[in-house]
Amino acid sequence: MDIAGIILSGLFAPAILFFALGMLSVIVKSDMVIPNSMSTAMAMFLMAAIGLGGGSKAVKAVIAQPGILGAVIVVALVAVICGIFFAVFTAKVMKKIVGLSTADSWACAGHYGAVSSATIAVGIGIASAAQAQAPAEFIYGGWMAAIYPFMDSTALVTAILLGKMALAREGSGSSEATINTKEILHHTLFGMAVWLLVCSLIIGALAEYFSPVESERTLDFFNGMFRGILALFMLDMGMQAAKQLSALRDLGKKLIAAVGVAIVLPQVWGVISIMAMYLIYIMMPGTLGWGDAFVFATIGGGCSFVTAPAAMRIAMPEANPSIYLPMSVALTFPANIVIGMTVWQILCRHLWGVV
């Protein structure tokens, strides 16, 4: 497929178009409302599908080629390092370039370091479609979803702990009943998304190993519904994004810098993620396809807007949700699915020599 084809078929995929429709619905003040329980159900479905698929494919891959386990471990380590690195440097950028307060900078750090389930879902959709269209080639191993929690939890915990310390140094920390480190770790690890994902990964792996027939039948359901649910979920996210747009006003004079950073920074994190994968690909040949690197870019470049806001609201109440929410859902997410998906895909294909 040529580059124009990649761009067009990416931009006009139903999921992206539904996101645009969701934004438009709010802008034209349509009466359309997506029930909250439907949102939750779709989010749960997507996390379970990502986890089950990842766990099952990880077991399959390791059985077929035991050496892959080494690559999985190395990639997980890289994810941990990236989680810390992205969080720390996002905080710096937010403070120095955008001029946000200490609390807001570190809250954003958590968001940009953590993983966006919607972004990785779109990425997995693209990578597995590419693999399905070229079954003979090795494009996407499918186990990359198992890496999600490593970067996500690391980044959130890093941002919250360092943020709390920075606030304490400033003496501006909340004088209120403070939430302790144990509680923070708890909410970070047992929040809906990452918990369901981790458990689904384990279930997917166990079922694949011990009960492959049942496992495959259950996966059929999740794979069959994945694109449809993702499309409707993106409709919802589009509505959420548009609702946050107006809050951007609160940024005042910092708006332009914030918009720029929200669009560019995740592209950089995505490219760094790809480079890290490329190094591993060079050093451990045959372990990673371009689709794997691409999905890792959606992990690194994605900016959480469902889990992180919930965790930050609890752990860092001093930070203003009207800053981190619109930046993540109304600026970075659309930028990622439009620009990021295209740039990262082209870069991966290029590095792996398949244009």
Partner 1 sequence: MNAHTNKMVVIITEFSIKDRVINTIEGLGVKAYTIESHLSGRGTRGIRDDNVLLGENIKISVITNIDIADKICAAVATQYLKHYAGIIYTLDVEMMHP
Q: 275 with 351: CB under 8 angstroms?
A: no
Q: Is residue 104 a contact point for partner 1 (CB under 8 A)?
A: no
Q: Which of residues 36-55 bind a copy of itself (CB under 8 A)?
A: 36-38, 40-41, 44-45, 48, 52
Q: Is residue 24 a contact point for a copy of itself (CB under 8 A)?
A: yes
For residue 201, give the amino acid letter: L
CB count, 10 Å around CB of 242? 21
Q: Of these, 195, 271, 317, 320, which contacts a copy of itself (CB under 8 A)?
A: 195
CB of 121 to partner 1, least distance (A): 15
- DSSP-derived letter for residue 145 is G
Q: Which of residues 119-148 bind a copy of itself (CB under 8 A)?
A: 125, 129, 133
CB of 111 to Na ion, least distance (A): 8
Q: 224 with 320: CB under 8 angstroms?
A: no
The binder of 229, among a copy of itself, Na ion, partner 1, none, by C-beta within 5 to 8 A per type, is a copy of itself
Q: What's the CA gap between 112 and 328, in Å, rounded? A: 8
The binder of 136, among partner 1, a copy of itself, Na ion, none, by C-beta within 5 to 8 A per type, is none
CB of 202 to partner 1, least distance (A): 25
Q: Is residue 12 a contact point for a copy of itself (CB under 8 A)?
A: yes
Six-digit token string for 344: 């990262």
Q: 8 with 345: CB under 8 angstroms?
A: no
Nearer to partner 1, 24 or 279 (CB): 24
Cα dihedral angle (285, 287, 290, 295), rounded to 10 degrees?
-150
Q: Is residue 196 a contact point for partner 1 (CB under 8 A)?
A: no
Using DSSP's 3-state secondary structure scheme, residue 180 falls into: coil
CB of 110 to Na ion, least distance (A): 10
Q: What's the CA gap between 45 and 31, in Å, rounded? A: 26
Q: Nearest 5°: phi and psi at 191?
A: -60, 155
Binding flags for partner 1, 9-48, as an x/- string (CB under 8 A) = ---------------------------x--xx--x-----
Q: Which of residues 172-191 bind partner 1 (CB under 8 A)?
A: 174-177, 179
To the nearest 10 degrees (0 to 180), the angle between helices 148-170 and 192-210 is: 160
Q: Nearest 5°: phi and psi at 195?
A: -65, -50
DSSP H stretches of helix in 171-211:
181-190, 192-210
Q: 40 with 34: CB under 8 angstroms?
A: no
Q: Is residue 317 a contact point for partner 1 (CB under 8 A)?
A: yes
Q: Residues in the site for a copy of itself, rule: CB under 8 A?
A: 8-15, 17-18, 21, 24-25, 28-38, 40-41, 44-45, 48, 52, 125, 129, 133, 186-187, 190-192, 195-196, 199-200, 202-204, 206-207, 209-211, 213-215, 217-218, 220-222, 224-225, 227-229, 231-232, 310
Q: Residues in the site for Na ion, rule: CB under 5 A?
A: 302
